[in-house]
A and B are shown apart, each in its own frame.
Chain A
């Protein structure tokens, strides 16, 4: 029997959709700042595989010569990013949503199963609660990354007043590298996240906007453990 099942509470949806444009603008203004000293590359010795960023990238994106503007945006939006993130983490703790989000002892095995399934190498998908193991790991990791961005950002923003933090992170230059790498991490997260949302389909995407998901729930009396015996690939 098909039912509308509540999936994402309103608060979580708000935090998600506030965070999305704010993080985008933080990355964008961060690139304006990074341009002024764009020294990072992938390579060794005199060999460079990729330079962050090639001239063609700046030419295409007009990211150049906006340092002052980038700092002004970055140091305004950091407050929104911080407060929204703090409210989100606080909400998950108070509401109990954290139970769905934090990886448990099954998550790593499950994440491998999910990955194999998504790559077409495994027939059955593992059973999930709200999130599967791969999602639990990814969504928890991205929150830890957010805390990391906050701390590394603070370490390069106020390296004298927060000198203890800067030193703990290995110094000013090291903290700047870490801050940049975390941003690369967000971009990778974003690519996989959007691909997976596209793959999961409309029902799943809608749940992050409208809150509910349509599910084919078995007749009353059938418990979750019995559900586990169904063939996961069976179509309703």
Chain B
């Protein structure tokens, strides 16, 4: 009996034949006809005005000044979504990992921004600007490889909507910062990513050597255990197209943040410039 239909007490509608299709013309000029006409007119004017308000409001939003390729109100909402996401973010929440055999043999490439100038891999150095000031420090690939090697098979998700499972290897950015304490003002290393030094920089900037491609990351994502300074795909050194000699990999973000051929890393108090965010995309671009 629980499913038996009982009309709400204040608005009972007994079972009846639907009036659709019946002749329901009211006597012209009758009180009922005037009442129906009045309510109909009032409601349709109301709906029309609401519709007009909606259209004008939407046009107003679209015609606000641009903030990095998208009208300001839209940028504000994207940023608010990013902040909400950051509040929900946990360092301990890991992107799914797959068996190594599930990784694709041929890893798709998409875009060559920042990779078009010539590169001498032997002369390449990673430059890091200390957050506390002072001259940039340089690291060879051997310096990076001397840190613990982490291998992981994760899904790379392109902002276009496709995804592939890739076997990566490299060193955690957090491990790099534990060894080289360049991201805090006081020069304290990151010993525990859940409890980083209080004076840790809030943002990281990564730029290609030719400065044509650049990415900004929030520090929480940067020191996440799955964020790697990556030098291998499928156990092989990176090809030029995949960002040799060193690239960023972070399954917390869309592919657009996986900067290839890292030139300079710097730390910042405000959101660093980001190639795709300047073209109207979400700066956070996080998963």
A interface residues with partner B (beta carbon < 8 Å): 2-6, 9, 17, 21, 33-34, 36-37, 39, 67-69, 71-73, 75-76, 79, 95-97, 99-100, 104-105, 125, 127-130, 132, 158-161, 163, 166-167, 172-173, 176, 199-201, 203-204, 206, 209-216, 223-225, 227-228, 230, 232, 235-236
Contacts and interface: CB of A to CB of B under 8 A. Distances in A.
A160 B54 CA distance: 35
A211 B39 contact: yes
B32 A2 contact: yes
B78 A227 contact: no
B161 interface: yes
Contact of B23 (A206, A213, A235): A235
Given A75-B282, A203-B20, A215-B24, A159 B157 contact: yes
B53 to A, nearest CB: 11
5 contacts: A2-B24, A75-B282, A99-B6, A206-B40, A216-B24
A224 B77 contact: no
B96 A163 contact: yes
A4 B35 contact: yes
Interface in B222-276: 251-252, 276
A99 B24 CA distance: 27
Given A97-B8, A100-B13, A210 B43 contact: yes
A29 B231 CA distance: 37
B222 to A, nearest CB: 15
A209 B43 contact: yes
Interface stretch (B87-95, B119-127, B179-187, B206-214): B87-95
B157 A125 contact: no
Contacts of A129: 5, 7, 13-16
A173 B155 CA distance: 11
B15 A128 contact: yes
A76 B77 contact: yes
Given A72-B70, A76-B78, 18 more contacts: A4-B35, A36-B159, A36-B160, A37-B158, A68-B281, A69-B70, A72-B75, A76-B74, A127-B15, A129-B13, A160-B251, A160-B252, A167-B96, A203-B20, A214-B26, A215-B19, A228-B15, A232-B17
Nearest to A226: B14
A223 B14 contact: yes
A128 B71 CA distance: 48
Given A17-B50, A21-B54, A161-B85, A236 B155 contact: no
B163 interface: yes
B74 A17 contact: no
Q: Which 6 A-B pairs have the closest CB atoms?
A: A224-B14, A37-B161, A96-B8, A68-B280, A210-B43, A160-B287
